[in-house]
């Protein structure tokens, strides 16, 4: 290798390229792996990125941390296999194909054929592999691209089947009907942690609506507050808090009588006396909050007369007039007041309107109070595109967010609108389509994460994190509030659920391997994607008259696949049994802060469910590298300069020191001595 030349003409980029050429010439990385092969294993899990775009600085930062730790372990007496991986399935790939082919609806895919669609998806998955290898290698990182793993490979997918089958046999899987975050842009349900990936501050309507009480001597009405007017057509009950005080108040000027929580009286409108309204300037007839000379809001009792005060528990079972008649068939059980502790008095009126198809608590409350039955085929009056179905006749075909204004107009026309306005709040958007999420009841397959909560928290305490507060605060809190995980998606490009069901639903067979499917079906299986196995049937074990079992349509959430990575990338338990069982949990993982709700979480859930252990022992979590506008760097938004341009101009080492100097912060240095001992 040439000597380093010092002076004003010294070029970091050129010197780095000489070093890289020398490493390639002597096969430095390969030689290191060969020479350390007999040494104790140090297991490093490299999280698979989506291969639908080029790497940004966040990937390079995490990769640098990974490289530092794995190099150190190699130098201190360990064999460290470093295989790069690719997340090949899911919405990122399907979205690209949808844009390319102009696909707008699920029916478009069915029309062109799932086989053609999936092969289109397969064709673009490795499009950027060469570019990734070029960028990562240029940063000086030693990582094995030749023996990379892909979540679309047969061996990987087979292990995913095995993981699911283990959970199913443990009684940790169920099919249910659950209200989940739903992307109308991607036409699919999202997991709760996906829903938390993209929040924005946006304006939304807020309205107060009157629900007249049937048989009330004062013709009073319950006053409910909502920020989702589009859910009002599906209202089935009102919910109060049994322990709160509620008051019935009479407006002295309008004669209207409302029931609200006593502590929320200040939220209801104070209307001007009719004489004042008559003398007001044209158009000045809106509800106002008059001010006294002291600047304080005029005493509510100057406008309202207190008629009655009761506990919320005394309102339970009172019936009210429905706002719309779309669900009049539920009249025997619905349109009444129930009580639940989720209702608070920190906002609104202390009375919550419940639409069970569009709210998690709404659904739970309606089940618990027998408004609807758990096994019942709940009517979800919004289709996969987020538009009202024919059930909602007046707004059929209208996108729900667009329907807000029309529904408010309808409520006003019925004389039920008490107050309207708008407010800005933090609202979840789809992390891929960037469309607002809604909550929608969907049939899905779930993992019973809530049942594992205590063990998850215990396993988290056994791991070592840098920085430790991410583990003890952010990740602990996320686990503490974990909910059952919807692991299925009604999509096409993914690992199919290995579930075959009989026509009568009485017989279920779950495949844990390709061999089992071949044995039961008699078919030869070379690929596990939908278009290669959906046609395969299994004879019923009960006899010919019961027909055959067919596979369910769903595929796995891609997070389930990446969470299975510690087993699937080595094709466990079909291969490498001794390697896995001797070295599990893995020694080290590292990714960005956003993975506390993503990969770190799914790793922990699946390993806890399978083995009762965490999947990793040590973890380094770096902060997010933001773009110039303060937003997260995103391949989709393309809001950052090309890393290769910066590296070519200034060199990889210089770029790392300037851009990622915080990874050498005092906090990290203070942790480092302890970290090295534990790693």
Sheet holding 245-251, edge to edge: 304-311, 245-251, 257-261, 221-226, 199-212, 417-428
Catalytic one of 46, 48, 86, 478: 48
Catalytic one of 66, 178, 272, 635: 635
Catalytic one of 225, 595, 614, 643: 595
Q: How far apart are CA 624 and CA 663, in angstroms?
A: 11
- Residues 651, 12: contact at Cβ < 8 Å? yes
- Residues 485, 558: contact at Cβ < 8 Å? no
The DSSP output letter for 324 is -
In this structure, what is the dihedral angle of CA atoms 568, 572, 577, 580, given to the nearest 10 degrees? 30
Q: Judge whether 252 counts as a catalytic residue.
A: no
Q: Judge whether 599 counts as a catalytic residue.
A: yes
Strand 499-502 versus strand 548-551 pairing type? antiparallel
Q: Judge whether 73 counts as a catalytic residue.
A: no
Q: How far apart are CA 196 and CA 456, in angstroms?
A: 20
Q: How many CB atoms lie within 10 A of CB 504?
A: 10
- Residues 41, 583: contact at Cβ < 8 Å? yes
Q: How far apart are CA 241 and CA 246, in angstroms?
A: 9
Q: Could you write out the DSSP letters of every residue in 561-620?
A: HHHTHHHHTTTTTTS-HHHHHHHPSEEEEEEEGGGGTTHHHHHHHHHHHHHSS-SEEEEE
Catalytic one of 391, 401, 613, 632: 632
Catalytic one of 431, 478, 500, 599: 599
Q: Judge whether 516 counts as a catalytic residue.
A: no
Q: How many CB atoms lie within 10 A of CB 671?
A: 18
Q: Judge whether 175 counts as a catalytic residue.
A: no
- Residues 156, 150: contact at Cβ < 8 Å? yes
Whole-Å CA distances, 110 to 187, 305, 553: 14, 62, 12
- Residues 621, 465: contact at Cβ < 8 Å? yes
Q: How far apart are CA 221 and CA 234, in angstroms?
A: 19
Q: Judge whether 635 counts as a catalytic residue.
A: yes
Q: Judge whether 636 counts as a catalytic residue.
A: no
Q: In the numeric block, which tokens belong to residue 188?
A: 């699919």
Catalytic one of 87, 404, 557, 594: 87
Question: What residues act catalytically?
Answer: 48, 87, 559, 595, 599, 632, 635
């Amino acid at each position: 290798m040439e000597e380093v030349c010092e002076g004003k003409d010294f070029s970091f980029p050129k010197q780095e390229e000489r070093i890289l050429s020398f490493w390639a010439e002597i096969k430095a990385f390969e030689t290191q792996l060969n020479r350390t092969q007999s040494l104790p294993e140090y297991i490093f899990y490299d999280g698979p990125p989506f291969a639908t775009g080029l790497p940004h600085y966040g990937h390079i930062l995490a990769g640098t941390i990974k490289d530092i730790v794995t190099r150190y372990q190699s130098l201190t007496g360990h064999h460290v296999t470093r295989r790069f991986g690719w997340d090949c399935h899911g919405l990122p790939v399907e979205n690209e194909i949808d844009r390319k082919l102009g696909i707008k609806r699920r029916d478009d895919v069915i029309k062109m054929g799932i086989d053609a669609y999936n092969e289109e998806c397969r064709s673009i998955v490795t499009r950027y592999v060469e570019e990734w290898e070029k960028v990562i290698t240029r940063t000086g990182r030693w990582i094995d691209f030749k023996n990379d793993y892909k979540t679309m490979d047969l061996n990987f997918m087979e292990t995913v089947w095995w993981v699911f089958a283990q959970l199913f046999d443990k009684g940790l899987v169920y099919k249910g009907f659950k209200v989940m975050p739903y992307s109308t842009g991607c036409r699919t349900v999202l997991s709760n942690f996906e829903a938390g990936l993209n929040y924005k501050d946006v304006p939304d309507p807020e309205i107060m609506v009157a629900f007249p009480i049937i048989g009330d001597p004062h013709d009073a009405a319950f006053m409910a507050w909502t920020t989702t007017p589009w859910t009002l057509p599906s209202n089935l009950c009102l919910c109060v808090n049994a322990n709160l005080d509620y008051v019935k108040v009479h407006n002295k000027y309008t004669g209207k009588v409302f029931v609200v929580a006593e502590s929320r009286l200040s939220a209801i409108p104070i209307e001007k006396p009719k004489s004042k309204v008559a003398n007001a300037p044209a158009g000045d007839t809106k509800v106002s909050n008059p001010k006294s000379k002291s600047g304080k809001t005029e005493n509510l009792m100057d406008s309202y007369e207190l008629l009655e005060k009761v506990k919320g528990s005394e309102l339970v079972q009172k019936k009210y007039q429905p706002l719309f008649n779309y669900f009049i068939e539920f009249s025997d059980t619905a349109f009444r007041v129930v009580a639940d502790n989720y209702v608070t008095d920190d906002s609104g009126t202390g009375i919550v309107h419940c639409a069970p198809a569009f709210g998690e608590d709404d659904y739970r409350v309606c089940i618990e109070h027998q408004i609807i039955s758990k096994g019942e085929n709940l009517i979800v009056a919004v289709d996969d595109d987020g538009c009202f179905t024919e059930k909602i006749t007046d707004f059929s075909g209208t996108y729900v967010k667009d329907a807000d204004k029309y529904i408010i107009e309808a409520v006003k026309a019925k004389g039920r609108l008490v107050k309207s306005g708008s407010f800005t709040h933090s609202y979840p958007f789809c992390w891929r389509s960037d469309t607002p999420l809604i909550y929608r009841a969907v049939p899905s397959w779930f993992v019973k994460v809530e049942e594992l909560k205590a063990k998850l928290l215990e396993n988290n305490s056994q791991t070592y994190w840098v920085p430790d507060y991410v583990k003890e605060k952010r990740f602990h809190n996320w686990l503490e509030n974990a909910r059952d995980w919807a692991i299925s998606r009604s999509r096409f490009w993914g690992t199919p659920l290995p579930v075959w069901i009989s026509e009568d639903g009485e017989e279920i067979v779950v495949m844990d391997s390709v061999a089992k499917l071949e044995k039961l079906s008699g078919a030869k299986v070379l690929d596990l994607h939908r278009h290669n196995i959906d046609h395969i049937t299994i004879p019923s074990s009960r006899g010919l008259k019961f027909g055959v079992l067919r596979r369910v349509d769903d595929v796995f959430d891609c997070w389930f696949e990446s969470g299975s990575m510690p087993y699937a990338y080595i094709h466990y338990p079909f291969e490498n049994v001794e390697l896995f069982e001797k070295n599990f949990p893995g020694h080290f993982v590292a990714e960005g802060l956003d993975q506390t709700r993503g990969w770190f979480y799914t790793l922990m859930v699946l390993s806890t469910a399978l083995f009762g252990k965490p999947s990793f022992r040590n973890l380094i979590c770096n902060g997010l590298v933001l773009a110039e506008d303060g937003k997260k760097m995103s391949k989709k938004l393309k809001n950052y300069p090309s890393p290769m341009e910066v590296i070519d101009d200034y060199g990889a080492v210089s770029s790392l020191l300037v851009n990622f100097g915080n990874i050498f912060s005092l906090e990290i240095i203070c942790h480092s001595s302890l970290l090295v001992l534990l790693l």
